[in-house]
Amino acid sequence: MTKMALAVAIFTWPVLGVTLNTNQLFVQPSFTGGTGGCGTTIDSAGPIDQACSGTGGFNYSGSGETFVTEGIIKGFGTTTGPGNVVSRGIFRDDLTFTSAGLSTGTLVSVTFWISVNGNLSVAPIGSQASWLLQADLGGGAFDINRSANLNAADSGSPGYNGDPFGLYSATVQVQIGFAAPLDVELTTTAQSSHTFSGDGSATADLFHSLYWRGITNMTVGGVPVNSFTVTSGSGVNFAAPVVPEPGTAFLLAGVCMIGWIALRRRRA
C-alpha cells in the first residue's frame, strides 16, 4: 500500500506569550463526486471542537472529529475506500515555577507526565491507522516524541509497529521565575486505498485520549525541592493532573460514531 500524503500544515509559533490552542481536521475521500472533503484549521484560546464527514466518488466516505483544550486532546478519524482523515490538536501555554528559598533564575529539573490512550483498527487490505504524541516544556526539541501505526496484512510491515499507548514522562530544566513555553501535540490519521483485492478501511480512535498528568520531582543539583508552585498564562494548574468532566469523552465520541453510522447507511 502506498501511503497518501497528509494535508496538514506544520506551524512554528512564538516561544513565549502563547496560550493559543490549535484544532486541525481534514477529511479527504478520493475521486470526484459525493459531498467532497471537509475540515479546517482553527486557532483559539479555550476549548475548540470540530467534526465533519464527507463522501467521494463510488460512495467512498470518511469522518472525523478533533477536540482540544488546555490539558486535553481528543482525535478521531475513520475512512472506507480511498481516502485520508487527519485529526490534530495542540495546546500551548507558558508555565512559571516558583519555590520558597530559590531565587529567580535558579536552574531546576522537573518531570512532566502525559497519558495517551486509544484504539487503532484496519481492514486486512490497503489500510493504515496511526498516532503521534509530541510534547515540549522549556523550548527547543520535543522532550516526548512517541508514535505508532497499525498496518494492514498486505503491507510491507503488517501489524502494530511503534510505541504502546500509556503514560509518558520527560525530565527537563527550567529557570525559577521565568516563563517556560509548553507545547503538546497529538495527531491521529486513518488512511485507506483501493487494491486489486478490494477497498481498505481504517479507524483511529483516540477519543479516550490525551490527558496532562501533572508535574513532579523538582530538584536542584540532584537535591529534591520539597514544595513548589506552577502558574500558567491560561490559569490552568499544570502542577496537577487535568481531569475531564464526567461523560465528556463519551459524549464527543458518540457524536463521531453517529456521523459514521449515518455515512455507512448512506453507502449501503
Tens of pLDDT along 167-198? 999 999 999 999 999 999 999 999 998 777 77
Q: What is the mean pLDDT of residues 120-147?
A: 96
| 75 and 22 Cβ atoms separated by less than 8 Å | no
CB-based burial of residue 142 (10 Å sphere; 0-12 exposed, 13-18 middle, 19+ buried)? Answer: middle
Give 164's DSSP letter: P
Residue 13 confidence class, pLDDT cut points 50, 70, 90: very low
187 Cβ neighbours under 8 A, 6+ residues apart:
8, 75, 86, 87, 88, 131, 132
Alpha helices per DSSP H over 127-210: none
How far is 198 from 260, CA to CA, in rounded Å?
20
| 19 and 98 Cβ atoms separated by less than 8 Å | no
242 Cβ neighbours under 8 A, 6+ residues apart:
70, 71, 72, 211, 212, 213, 236
| 165 and 144 Cβ atoms separated by less than 8 Å | no
Say which range, 9-13, 47-51, 54-58, 228-232, has the weakest mean pLDDT.
Answer: 9-13
Residue 244 confidence class, pLDDT cut points 50, 70, 90: low
Q: Which has more pLDDT, 20 or 219?
A: 219
Quick one: cell of 82? 480511498
pTM to 2 decimals? 0.84
